[in-house]
Structure 1
Amino acid sequence: MTDMSSIQEVEPIFDVLSIGRCGVDVYPLQIGKGLEEVTSFGKFLGGSPTNVAVAVARYGNSSATITGVGDDPFGRYICQEMERLGVSSAFVVTNENFHTPVTFCEIFPPDDFPLYFYRSPSAPDLELGVRDIPLESVAKSRILWLSATGLSVEPTRSAHFAALQHRGAASSSSGHWTIIDLDYRDMFWDSPVNARSQVQAALTYANVAIGNREECEIAVGETEPDRAADALLDRGVEIAVVKQGPLGTLAKTADERIVVPVTPVEVMNGLGAGDAFGGAFCHALLSGWDVAEAVQFASTAGAIVASRLECSTAMPTESEVQEMISQNPASAPIVEKRK
């Protein structure tokens, strides 16, 4: 945990800088049981943008998360665990007014994983203000990753837009990427209409958008994957990624349509798959891979984490992902040139 006044003096630059949620995931160690029946739990670092930063670090890249914690034991745990997992805690703000949030889940494989957020009346990451944004690091880090839920309320909404505006329009030609995770959870928003308005405003600064079909409907009013991807491209992004669960992943650019079939695994907990996808996709961009390689790598990483219990500490290494790819030739990308 760092005093933000010192950050403004010398700000480190990272391969990936994420902004948004963090918390403590309290996950049951019994599978297929409701919380009322569970007798033991595991404690893990959580929060989608923080998990993405962990995944990025797992591949050997530098990462940090702009977020907030409470002045409590869980807040100290988060900072210690971030550092242990290779993520800088330089931009973690301690808030004395709100507790560090915790999140419980239930695990009913293969596709039912209810989440229970304890973030009332607010959470420290939702209290981030414009003054908490390390502008130099935001401007110069190679990838800025934002989750749409960070746009849901003030003051964090203004903090996110301050970061986007200071960074300016991203361009792949300069090796800088701004990625919007379309992550939508209705408990964070007052209405889907407001969510669409805020997400579309943020998309004007991004050159990559990633979301599932339901999240695309909130962002651009489309659930059919091709139309959703086209609508995102029309908003100005260079790469639009639509995740379709067991149906695989669709990605589009101005020149290519890419379909990556799902990598078959025995699902244990699907909650971390999207964050694993995001971190792996960032690594692929940093490595200079083409979009098809990036989506295949990310999809495979997501499948690996879906086969494990937790999220942050379940992130795979590059060698694990590549081994899984080699074992699943049927999951190779199908690339079509667009007219």
Structure 2
Amino acid sequence: MKYDIVAMGRSSIDLYSQNIGADFVDIKGFDAFVGGSPLNIVTGCQRLGLNTALLTGVGADKVGDFILNFLKNEGIETKFIPTIPHARSSAVILGIQPPDTFPLVYYRHNAADTHVNIDHVNAVNMEEVRLFEVSGTALSLEPSRSAVFHAMERANAAGVTTVLDIDFRADQWSDLRSFGIMVRALLPKVKIAIGTEEEILAAMLKDSRQVEITHQQISAPTIHGDVEEAIQGLMDLGVEILLVKRGSKGVSVYQKGQETFNVPGFPVEPLNVLGAGDAFASGFIYGYLQGWDLYKSCRMGNASGAQVVLQPGCANFMPTLEESMKFIEEHGGF
């Protein structure tokens, strides 16, 4: 196989506050990193030693050059990334106020990655791919929405493992309920789904009033509802494995027809929780593709997440395999 993983969806320049703990209005400067859930995940996988590629879009602009330069320096395949001349590369601005306030602002009007289409998907030879991953935000607009469904159909036809990072970003949807409609339509084509408790609830949302966002924490809304009922609803749609991320408590693993079990996390004092879930996904995917069982794979994911929350960014701080193995050994092993 040429690619262990191809990931599809958002990519951006991420501007993280240099003034840790400062109110957003008092921020004096920003560090320029890269981001977007699929980009973060493939970076984590690449640093762990997998062969990776990213399917996204960038604009004909300097931000696009910034993103592509990072990917090329990491050794991530960029040939599936079209330049969209009439669109802009995406940007995100983030504040960091530990322990629990992380406001962010998305700049995604006419974002280039939303213009990824069926032809761009067709450029990927699925026979060369072991695992194909998509993020839920790619379902928010056409033509990327249809491209996601097409990609998953092609991946399944080729016997490729399919993974969905549910990835709920409330401000990217004109009607919050439509997020769940799209995710539920896609799940029968998905083998492994990954999401936080809030994202699971969003996927089964009945009323937009269930969603509450404070301090502009778009990536961490409060969503009211019965999470166990929502989990069962998603499992009933046919997904084989559902990984529910529960923060510092670790991960709960749901499988069709089997007992649920929990995988503990690695207790650390977080600096910045943004991107921890993407780091988890990269560690999990690495373990899964090594043929490890789900428990060990999730421990690997938890270790990646725990290391990244100690850092002021995400993709730029993904751990190497050597760093992760050392971290796991120093924190009780698998």
Is TM > 0.5 for Structure 1 vs Structure 2?
Answer: yes
Consecutive unaligned residues of structure 1, counting only runs of 5 or more, are 1-11, 333-339
Displacement of 1:289: 0.3
- Structure 1 residues 295 and 227: CA distance shift in structure 2, 3 A: farther
**Partner in structure 1 of residue 145 of structure 2:** 157
Separation in 1, partners of 2:227, 2:268: 23
| Contact residue 208 and residue 237 of structure 1 kept, 8 A | yes
In structure 1, distance between residues paired with 2:226 and 2:287: 26
Determine if the alignment matches structure 1 residue 104 to structure 2 residue 82.
Answer: no
Question: Counterpart in 2 of 1:144?
Answer: 132
User: Contact (CA 8 Å) 2:201, 2:227: kept in 1 or not?
Assistant: no
CA contact (8 A) 2:130 2:161 kept: yes
For the residue of structure 2 that corresponds to 1:76, the secondary structure is helix
Deviation at 1:196, TM superposition (A): 1.2
User: What is aligned with 1:192?
Assistant: 176
2:251 paired residue number = 249
2:10 is aligned with 1:26 = no
Q: Distance in 1 between matches of 2:236 and 2:34?
A: 36
* Change over 3 Å in CA distance of 1:96–1:272 after alignment to 2: same
Whichever residue aligns with residue 180 of structure 2, its letter is: R
What is the TM-score normalised by the length of structure 2? Answer: 0.89
Aligned to 1:234: 236
5+ residue gaps in structure 2? Answer: 206-223
Q: How does 1:8-23 map to 2 (within 5 A)?
A: 13-23=2-12
Name the SS for the 1:271 alignment partner.
Answer: coil
| Deviation for aligned residue 1:151 | 0.5
Displacement of 1:154 = 0.9
The answer to whether structure 1 residue 84 and structure 2 residue 73 are counterparts is yes
Give the alignment of 1:267-286 within 5 angstroms.
267-286=270-289
CA contact (8 A) 2:80 2:124 kept: no
CA contact (8 A) 2:195 2:244 kept: yes
User: 1:227-271: CA deviations, max 9, x gaps?
Assistant: 444433322222111111233211122334221223111211110
Cα 1:225–1:169, aligned 2, differ >3 Å: closer, same or farther? farther
Contact 1:13 1:137 (8 Å CA) reproduced:
no
Q: Is the 1:58–1:86 contact (alpha carbons within 8 Å) kept by the matching residues of 2?
A: no
RMSD: 2.0
Residues of 2 paired with 1:149 and 1:139: CA distance? 25
Among candidates 64, 85, 89, match of residue 75 of structure 1: 64
Deviations 1:109-161 (A, max 9, x none): 112111111112x1000111111113543454111111011011111101111
CA contact (8 A) 1:180 1:210 kept: yes
User: For residue 133 of structure 2, what is the amino acid of its counterpart?
Assistant: W
In structure 2, the residue matched to 1:335 is none
Which SS does the other structure have where 1:168 is aligned?
helix
Provide the residue aligned with 1:264 in structure 2. Answer: 267
